[in-house]
């Protein structure tokens, strides 16, 4: 009744439909159906070997063949260090005063987070997405959802872990969203990834005061990134007449093209409250 | 020997795409280097060997990339099946044909990715950098895609890899 060709055509149509449905589901939910660790476990050891070899060769070059500029750079760094030592002392004084005042008001001391340093061993092979592979995993205390930072600012979030390696989605990735606020005016919005050197700061109401040059920090309200971590600087603001929100471009503080080491913040485990 | 060659090539391509090219500014816009390899195995290997290989490669790429899980698995599967379908009607020894297949496959991959962004993603919007990314990848695949595929075939011939796939042996390509 039905020819072999007809069965083949129907089979192909069904297969394409199933493909589209599965891709639609996985693109919205970031789910890997439990198979997300296979490639990481297989390939990451080789990535780590190659990356370390390249860095070793580069370090030899920089240490032994680039000494000409080192002396000049050393002088500049010493001057910067002296300035920062002075500032650090001022901040230490402010920190002590803060602790005294909090003590007076009976504020409980927030538990400190544990920080694990990790090396970047690989990057996303596709030009469309911004993820990195780091050389720390479950055996080091990492799990999905942890924040990854640098002293300069936020880097991203752990989205997949194996025993010894993890995949991190950068803040500049299209699927990334960070609850943030303007440090000066406390205007709140969502930072969304756009490209290597720019993020969008969305849902910032036009009634708030936002200026070019303002620093944007994490609000801590998304439960992922600790409050106060720097994200970027407002680079451009535009307002469409019919919109209640600004269109804000933010230039990240972190240079994502040159990531080599990152820090993963592991929050303290909160004790269960017995009823 | 043959399986060691395939696994070695796969690892080499994965490592240079993830651990070397991202650190070289001019190479950051490189197309997916596994496309010529999937075409190569679909032409030269029997389906019982090459299809699982293509699927495993797709799974690994899905794991290493931030793309929706299943994208590379799906794409490599349909690329594999598409090439095996086409070679029933066209002469595989035609170098121009092989060059066109590589270029078209790279373009289709990018178009599919944009379609996912535009219709299936959480934010239904074209990426702001879509045009530069596609242009860079297209120029790279024009310049290097066919050369890479033909080099794979020549290398396999030099290593005397025995074929029992769907296509004529490599000496047919000259």
Instruction: Tell me the per-residue pLDDT of B76-97, one tens digit each, with 9 for 90 and over.
Output: 999 999 988 888 877 666 778 8
Is the pTM for the entire model greater than 0.90? no
pLDDT at residue A27, as a whole number:
72
Asked if A213 is an interface residue toward chain B (Cβ–Cβ < 8 A), one would say no
Q: Tell me the per-residue pLDDT of A207-234, one tens digit each, with 9 for 90 and over.
A: 999 999 999 999 999 888 988 899 999 9
Query: In sequence order, what are the residues at sequence separation of 6 or more whose Cβ sits closer than 8 angstroms to the Cβ of residue B27?
Result: B20, B21
pLDDT of A166 higher than 90: yes
What average pLDDT does the segment A227-244 reach? 86
Measured between beta carbons, which residues in chain A are less than 8 angstroms from residue B59?
Answer: 35, 38-39
Q: Tell me the per-residue pLDDT of A169-214, one tens digit each, with 9 for 90 and over.
A: 999 998 899 999 999 999 999 999 987 788 999 999 989 999 999 9
Query: In sequence order, what are the residues at sequence separation of 6 or more whose Cβ sits closer than 8 angstroms to the Cβ of residue A80?
Result: none
pLDDT at residue A9, as a whole number:
84
pLDDT of A37 higher than 90: no
Query: In sequence order, what are the residues at sequence separation of 6 or more whose Cβ sits closer than 8 angstroms to the Cβ of residue A245?
Result: A189, A202, A203, A204, A205, A206
What average pLDDT does the segment A100-124 reach? 76
Find the helix or strand (DSSP H, E) in which A233 lies: strand A230-238
Question: Which of A20, A31, A127 minimises the CB distance to B69?
Answer: A31
Contact B145, B102 (CB under 8 A): yes
Give residue A106's pLDDT band: very low, low, confident or very high (50, 70, 90): low
* CA pair distance B90, B74, nearest whole angstrom: 24
pLDDT at residue B168, as a whole number:
47
Write phi, then psi, for B87 (nearest 5 degrees). Answer: -70, -10
Contact B133, B29 (CB under 8 A): yes
Residue A19, classified by CB atoms within 10 Å of its CB into exposed (0-12), middle (13-18) or buried (19+), is: middle
Contact A234, A273 (CB under 8 A): no
* CA pair distance A25, A33, nearest whole angstrom: 11
Question: Which of B19, B22, B133 minimises the CB distance to A128?
Answer: B133
- C-beta atoms of A46 and B11 within 8 A: yes
pLDDT at residue A274, as a whole number:
46
Q: Which residues in chain B come in under a pLDDT of 50? A: 163-174
Q: Which residue has the higher pLDDT, A227 or A99?
A: A227
At residue A86, the 3 state secondary structure works out as helix
Give residue A275's pLDDT band: very low, low, confident or very high (50, 70, 90): very low
Contact B116, B74 (CB under 8 A): no
At residue B164, the 3 state secondary structure works out as coil
- C-beta atoms of A127 and B14 within 8 A: no
Give residue A95's pLDDT band: very low, low, confident or very high (50, 70, 90): confident
């Amino acid at each position: 009744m039905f020819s072999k060709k007809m069965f083949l055509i129907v089979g192909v149509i069904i297969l394409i439909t199933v493909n589209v449905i599965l891709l639609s589901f996985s693109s919205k939910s970031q789910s890997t159906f439990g198979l997300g660790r296979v490639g990481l476990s297989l390939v990451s050891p080789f990535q780590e070997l190659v990356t370390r070899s390249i860095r070793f060769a580069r370090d030899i070059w920089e240490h032994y063949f680039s000494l000409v500029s080192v002396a000049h750079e050393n002088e500049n760094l010493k001057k910067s260090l002296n300035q920062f030592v002075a500032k650090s002392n001022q901040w230490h004084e402010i920190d002590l005063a803060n602790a005294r005042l909090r003590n007076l008001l009976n504020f409980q001391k927030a538990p400190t987070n544990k920080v694990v340093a990790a090396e970047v061993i690989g990057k996303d092979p596709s030009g469309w997405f911004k993820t990195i592979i780091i050389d720390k995993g479950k055996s080091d205390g990492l799990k999905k959802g942890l924040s990854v930072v640098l002293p300069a600012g936020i880097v991203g979030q752990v989205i997949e872990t194996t025993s010894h390696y993890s995949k991190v989605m950068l803040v500049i990735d299209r699927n990334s969203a960070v609850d943030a606020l303007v440090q000066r005016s406390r205007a709140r919005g969502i930072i969304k990834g756009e490209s290597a050197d720019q993020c969008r700061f969305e849902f910032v109401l036009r009634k708030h005061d936002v200026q070019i040059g303002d620093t944007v920090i994490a609000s801590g309200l998304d439960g992922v990134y600790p409050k106060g971590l720097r994200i970027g600087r407002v680079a451009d603001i535009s307002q469409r007449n019919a919109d209640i929100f600004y269109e804000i471009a933010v230039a990240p503080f972190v240079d994502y093209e040159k990531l080599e080491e990152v820090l993963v913040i592991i929050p303290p485990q909160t004790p269960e409250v017995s009823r | 020997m043959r399986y060691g060659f395939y696994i070695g090539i796969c690892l080499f391509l994965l490592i240079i795409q993830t651990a070397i090219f991202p650190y070289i500014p001019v190479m950051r816009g490189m197309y997916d280097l596994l496309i010529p390899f999937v075409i190569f195995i679909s032409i030269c290997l029997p389906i019982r060997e090459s299809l699982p290989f293509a699927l495993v490669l797709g799974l690994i790429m899905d794991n290493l990339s931030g793309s929706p899980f299943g994208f590379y698995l799906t794409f490599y599967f349909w690329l594999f099946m598409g090439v095996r379908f086409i070679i029933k009607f066209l002469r595989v020894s035609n170098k121009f044909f092989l060059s066109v297949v590589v270029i078209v496959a790279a373009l289709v991959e990018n178009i599919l990715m944009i379609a996912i962004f535009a219709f299936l993603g959480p934010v239904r919007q074209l990426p702001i950098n879509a045009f530069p990314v596609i242009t860079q990848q297209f120029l790279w695949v024009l310049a290097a895609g066919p050369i890479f595929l033909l080099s794979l075939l020549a290398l396999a011939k030099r290593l005397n890899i025995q074929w029992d796939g769907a296509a004529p042996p490599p000496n047919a390509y000259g």
